[in-house]
Structure 1
């Protein structure tokens, strides 16, 4: 029987409770064996850099998922040079792990952006997309995206970076271990 694996990609800069909620909801709704958190090296759709290193983002993901046995870190995009195109990544994953069935998890912000994805029509043929609501974005699309009911939380990494920069508490918005790492390393201060 094929192992059922969810892939949640993103910059995770920083990872927050919204990411964990989405991963947990999809994990249970689709009876997955695991969910992999896959940080991008160079996200093709984002221009602004936060100033954190890849190593910082990896460490924060590890801390975020440390207390969930079925959440894993997937470094395939970090290990590759150049833009992190999902089409290339999924082709490589399927080649490396042919006995796995992959599900690509996206929020409504990315559902709206699907028409602009690199080789989207071909990508839709090789993987099942799973979408979750994310206010204020619209999850309606002509693409084949399996929608999952999930508690909605209006939270983004950019909101958290701004709060930290202003000295506003992020308690309960990120895992305590992540908050500790951010504070010790003075991330997002300027």
Structure 2
């Protein structure tokens, strides 16, 4: 009988700010993986905020985003935050982030699989020209594994079948149906704050207090384009 496979889930993102939807993704993914294979044991979930150098419009400083993540997960027994990515002086590709954490968390010696957790929008972005390197996608999906949470406006199974690279790596991709669909997003939270609308019950109360105390997200964004493809800016 084979040994149980420990799994660590890691989500890389802006968390700008973190919402309950970010946290629900971890719970849904853990339920799915452990029901899929009783020998699969999800032991930990980590959130890794992106560096300030990512260049995304309206991105709060990582010091603020880390604090909000810590507050949001303060009642969780298995979620934690990793700060190496956001401490870097430049934007770091996701593949390299996973490689670093695979080593620093000693996954190889602990029979632990490190899997990237993301939404279906990220899966769709894999086919956008210039957004991801092919070798990085292979590293992320084949060397680690991908857990994708479905969203109403996306069709992850269709993306997998229509993109040759994803089809070849399909065995390493787990698509999970969100059984309680909602459209909470960090962008909508920021817009609500700018309009003075309530965001209670969408994010943790401690996070709301922190946002208000530090006057985050109150300024309306400019009309410039949001950075779409990090590689286009960082690797010319």
TM-score if structure 1 supplies the norm length?
0.91
Equivalent residues of 1:36, 1:74 under 8 A apart: yes
1:111 equivalent in structure 2: 123
1:128 equivalent in structure 2: 145
Equivalent residues of 1:9, 1:39 under 8 A apart: yes
Structure 1: gaps spanning 5 or more residues: none
2:72 equivalent in structure 1: 64
Q: Distance in 2 between matches of 1:102 and 1:122?
A: 12
The structure with the largest alpha-carbon Rg is 2
Q: Secondary structure at the match of 1:30?
A: helix
Equivalent residues of 2:19, 2:204 under 8 A apart: yes
Aligned length: 188
Equivalent residues of 2:8, 2:44 under 8 A apart: yes
Shift of 1:43: 7.4
Q: Which has the higher helix share?
A: 2
Equivalent residues of 2:14, 2:59 under 8 A apart: no
1:16 equivalent in structure 2: 19
Equivalent residues of 2:140, 2:146 under 8 A apart: no
Shift of 1:139: 1.4
2:177 equivalent in structure 1: 149
Structure 2: gaps spanning 5 or more residues: 35-41, 161-165, 220-236
Q: Distance in 1 between matches of 2:184 and 2:74?
A: 21
CA RMSD of superposed structures (Å): 1.8
